[in-house]
Amino acid sequence: MSGTRLVASREFTERLRSRAFLISNGAILALILLGVGLPLLLGGDGAIRLGVVGADAAEVGRFALAQQDAFDVEVELVDLTDRDAAEEALTEGSVDVALLDSSAALAEGSLGGRLESLLANASNAIRVDRALAEAGLDPQERAELATIERLSITQLDERDGIDLFDPSVAIVYGAVFVLYGLLAVYGQWVAQGIVEEKQSRVVEVLLASLRPTELLAGKVLGLGGLGLAQILLLTGVAAGGLLLTDVVEVPAAAWTALLLVIPWYVVGFLLYATLFAMAGSVVSRVEDLQSAVMPVIIVLVLALFGAQFALNDPTGTVATVAGLLPFTAPIVQPILFALGVATWWRTLLALILALGAILVLLPISARIYRGGVLRTRGRVAFRDAWATSRR
């Protein structure tokens, strides 16, 4: 056991020391911080500053304020003295758009559909309001009529209900993509480490004082531990950033799904590590590794496709099955959870199935490793590695 611990700590620290590791992690962290922080930097508090020149324009502005929620736009009013002041304010960027009277506005560029609709509606509302005032309605009645009720829309086809730009989906999809990347990278490191030790023959020196299973276990635990530390750091930074900056509102299901990515990483890594270890055990040179790990990578990519599929059709058979199968569940199940279609018991079932698969594959993988680790010439057939497995 102490041998396993030594191997694990070596794997952990050697990778941690490597420049490539530090640079790639720095880059990912920078991307996350950018993703979380950029809207904050660019958008300020997100409100559109609406300049108003004169009483008519101010009245349109007040209607716009009253109706902004219906158009998903946030505006704030800035009083301006005249057209020259409006142009100056636009140029220096202290307002985004300036209303000159009840039906004309100045802007630097195009306004975007929602804002334009809001302003057109507000300007129209004034005319309606005045007509209603002439017809004798009191302000209370007029204000009620001016309020816009959102249409209640029932979607016949609920599949169209998923919005990729929905923040909770985007967050979980991002997390799952990172999970996929970590499984691919750390899994390949397991295979690569095995082959490098075979190729450099250092394995013969190591096996003088270690049992093969200790060496393999140390490798898997060390690299898996580093991956776990990494995913904890990344999700921690992402979650902290989201909480602190409050850029988007994250629903509870997304938080849970984000947390679920962590146990799914652990399960997924162990599962894929068994496959990657087998691939590494049967080749002798790093150059031959690519073809050996290809089938494993294909399975992993299929899992990512499964995640795409789940996004498009979360209640379909493919998504349901992919959410349960051991090799696709780690990537697909968190997505289904974030979309609210996976129940706790389904998550639990998927986890149990995956753990079962690990229990089945671990001894097989260890046996292939024992059979192949000392065959330092050429490629070993799986059957030979299985049959000649020692100790």
Partner 1 sequence: MLEIEHLTRSFGDVLALDRLTFRVEPGQMFGFVGSNGAGKTTTMRIVMGLDDPDEGEVRFQGGPIDSEVRARVGYMPEERGLYPKTPPLRQLIYLGRLHRLDKRTAEERARRLLARFGLQERMHEPLENLSLGNQQRVQLAAALVHEPRLLLLDEPFSGLDPVGVDALSEVLLERASLGVPVVFSSHQLELVERLCDAVAIIDAGRLVAAGSVAQLRAAGGRRLLRIEVDGPDPTGWAEHLPGTRVRSRDTTGVVVLLDETVDDQTVLAAAQAAGAVRHFAAVRPTLAELYREAVTNHRDTAHTAGAA
Q: Interface with partner 1 includes 270 (CB under 8 A)?
A: no
Please, which of residues 9-38 interact with partner 1 by CB under 8 A? 10, 14
Closest CA to 257 of 183, 169, 321, 172: 172
Range in contact with partner 1 (rule: CB under 8 A) among 145-153, 176-184, 208-216, 362-370 = 208-216
Q: Nearest approach, Cβ of 25 to partner 1 (angstroms)?
A: 19
Choose which of 27, 47, 205, 359 interacts with partner 1 (CB under 8 A). 205
Separation between Cα atoms, residue 239 and residue 243, nearest integer Å: 6
Q: Interface with partner 1 includes 376 (CB under 8 A)?
A: yes
Q: Which one, 59 or 214, has the nearer CB to partner 1?
A: 214
With 0-12 / 13-18 / 19 or more C-beta atoms within 10 angstroms meaning exposed / middle / buried, residue 147 is: exposed
Separation between Cα atoms, residue 236 and residue 243, nearest integer Å: 10
Q: Which one, 200 or 343, has the nearer CB to partner 1?
A: 200
What tokens appear for 374 in the block? 């000392």
Q: Interface with partner 1 includes 204 (CB under 8 A)?
A: yes
Total number of residues that touch partner 1 (CB under 8 A): 23
With 0-12 / 13-18 / 19 or more C-beta atoms within 10 angstroms meaning exposed / middle / buried, residue 261 is: buried
Range in contact with partner 1 (rule: CB under 8 A) among 62-70, 207-215, 350-358, 364-372 = 207-215
Q: Which one, 6 or 297, has the nearer CB to partner 1?
A: 6
Per-residue contact track with partner 1, 183 to 202, x per CB under 8 A?
Answer: -------------xx--xxx
What tokens appear for 25 in the block? 């992690």
Q: Which one, 1 or 164, has the nearer CB to partner 1?
A: 1
How many beta carbons lie within 10 A of that of residue 93, not counting itself? 9
CA 142 to each of CA 63, 94, 122, 131, 206: distance values in angstroms, whole numbers, following the listed order: 12, 33, 14, 10, 86
Q: Which one, 115 or 282, has the nearer CB to partner 1?
A: 282
Q: Which one, 55 or 202, has the nearer CB to partner 1?
A: 202
Q: Nearest approach, Cβ of 374 to partner 1 (angstroms)?
A: 6
Choose which of 127, 130, 159, 211 interacts with partner 1 (CB under 8 A). 211
Separation between Cα atoms, residue 80 and residue 90, nearest integer Å: 11
Strands 105-107 and 97-99: antiparallel
Q: Which one, 150 or 390, has the nearer CB to partner 1?
A: 390
Q: Interface with partner 1 includes 381 (CB under 8 A)?
A: no
Q: Which residues pair with 51 in a beta bridge?
A: 78, 98
Separation between Cα atoms, residue 227 and residue 186, nearest integer Å: 7
Interface residues with partner 1 (CB under 8 A) are 3, 6-7, 10, 14, 196-197, 200-211, 374, 376, 390-391
